[in-house]
Amino acid sequence: MSIRFTFAAAVTGALAFAAPMAKAEEFINILTGGTSGVYYPMGVALSEIYAKGIEGSRTQVQATKASVENLNLLQQGKGELGFALGDSVKYAWEGNADAGFKAPLTKLRAIAAIYPNYVQIAALKEAGVTTVADLKGKSLSVGAPKSGTELNARAILGGLGMSYDDLAKVEYLPFAESVELMKNRQLEATLQSSGLGNAAIKDLASSQEITVVSVPKEVVEKIGAPYIAGVIPAGTYQGQAEDVPTAAVINFLVTHEDVSDETAYQMAKLIFENLDTLKAAHSAAGDIKLENAAKDSPIPLHPGAEKFYKEQGLL
């Protein structure tokens, strides 16, 4: 009976790509970010979607230091899906050592372009910082070392001809820890790269007077691709009365070449069949659009995802 079951399972696996569900006994570890960011609740939602939608799958959500760590873990086969910023994905494919990649990560494959991350700089109102150039001589938290957020911080300052040397103090802390330092007046500003409505900044704005710091369009244009000009709409955070210009960069869901075609197909398909669930997990998912999912990836699409987008007439 055991032998017959094993044979039947093997046949099922061979036929699964043609079927609506992926093969049985599929383990999917989803690599996210810190629990106070956007990646984590979105990852939890995807975990639930895949557990229900991919037959026989076992899903898990792993909190990480986000983009750079996720991409390195995927290359090592220590995850099946990861969130990452577009610039980090580009640097990973190139093997940019300064960005945290010792060699080109050639196993990476894209599942989907999702929502944009917005560079969101919050400063204590008393610090007198209104635009990014005002950070000179101030203390700033830039995220975990060589995280996607920290790469964003380097790029933004670089667009002004500035570096960390121009700051009074640099802290390399996750979002929530940065906010705690600001509440205790031990830090003047935090740079956080995430979807709009970041939980940590909301928490800060609910108890402190803050300024949402602008990154002017001309600075973004000087940095260039994959950065684009964006806007943090008025009212995103308590006390924010006006729209604030900033930089944005697209997030990607990334897998690796050893993930089966049928699983990658279902990963892509189920995202767009369950957008309401993702929006309920975080409002940033409102910016996920099927028509943009196969665009502008710095790495090749996984063949399974490519099949789905061809069915949708996007490729």
pLDDT in tens, 72-131: 999 999 999 999 999 999 999 999 998 999 999 999 999 999 999 899 999 999 999 999
Other residues' Cβ atoms within 10 Å of the Cβ of residue 305: 29
**Rounded Cα distance, 235 and 207, in Å:** 16
| Continuous segment of H or E residues that includes residue 145 | none
pLDDT at 24 (0 to 100): 53
Q: Angle formed by the axes of helices 175-183 and 199-207, to 10°?
A: 10
**Rounded Cα distance, 149 and 193, in Å:** 5
Which 3 state secondary structure label does DSSP give 302? coil
CA 237 centroid distance within chain: 20
pLDDT in tens, 17-26: 444 444 457 8
pLDDT at 18 (0 to 100): 45
User: In which band, very low, low, confident or very high, does the pLDDT at 40 lie, cut at 50, 70 and 90?
Assistant: very high
**Rounded Cα distance, 169 and 166, in Å:** 9
Q: Residue range 264-290: average pLDDT?
A: 96
Residue 244 pLDDT exceeds 50: yes
Q: Please list, in sequence order, all residues whose beta carbon lies within 8 angstroms of the beta carbon of residue 224, skipping any fewer than 6 positions away.
A: none
**Rounded Cα distance, 254 and 288, in Å:** 15
Residue 14 pLDDT exceeds 70: no
Residue 10 pLDDT exceeds 50: no
Residue 3 pLDDT exceeds 80: no
DSSP letter (8 states) at residue 65? S
Q: In terms of Cα–Cα distance, which of 130, 159, 163, 164 is closest to 218?
A: 159
Give start-end residues of each CATH 3.40.190.10 domain in the chain. Answer: 23-115+251-311, 117-249
pLDDT at 6 (0 to 100): 41
Buried b (16+ CB within 10 A) or exposed e, 58-93: ebebbbbbbbbbbbbbbbeeebbbbbbbbbbbbbbb
Q: In terms of Cα–Cα distance, which of 36, 145, 172 is closest to 181?
A: 172
Which 3 state secondary structure label does DSSP give 279? helix
**Rounded Cα distance, 50 and 267, in Å:** 7
Residue 279 pLDDT exceeds 60: yes
Q: How many residues does the structure list for the chain?
A: 315
Residue 258 pLDDT exceeds 60: yes
pLDDT at 23 (0 to 100): 47
pLDDT at 146 (0 to 100): 78
pLDDT at 4 (0 to 100): 45
pLDDT at 168 (0 to 100): 98
Residue 11 pLDDT exceeds 80: no
Q: Residue range 272-295: average pLDDT?
A: 95
**Rounded Cα distance, 238 and 204, in Å:** 9
Q: Which of residues 36 and 27 earns the better pLDDT score?
A: 27
Asked if 239 and 210 touch (Cβ cutoff 8 Å), the reply is yes
Mean pLDDT of the chain: 91
Q: CATH number of the domain at 23-115+251-311, please?
A: 3.40.190.10
Q: In terms of Cα–Cα distance, which of 48, 53, 13, 12 is closest to 30?
A: 48
Asked if 173 and 141 touch (Cβ cutoff 8 Å), the reply is yes
Q: Residue range 38-48: average pLDDT?
A: 96
| Continuous segment of H or E residues that includes residue 192 | strand 189-194
pLDDT at 61 (0 to 100): 98
Q: Residue range 1-20: average pLDDT?
A: 44
User: In which band, very low, low, confident or very high, does the pLDDT at 8 lie, cut at 50, 70 and 90?
Assistant: very low
Which superfamily, per CATH, for 117-249? Answer: Periplasmic binding protein-like II (3.40.190.10)
Residue 7 pLDDT exceeds 80: no
Asked if 154 and 96 touch (Cβ cutoff 8 Å), the reply is no
Asked if 174 and 143 touch (Cβ cutoff 8 Å), the reply is yes
Going by their DSSP bridges, the two strands 139-141 and 189-194 should be labelled as parallel
Q: In terms of Cα–Cα distance, which of 56, 55, 114 is closest to 85?
A: 114
Q: Angle formed by the axes of helices 303-311 and 261-273, to 10°?
A: 50
Share of the chain above pLDDT 90, in %: 81
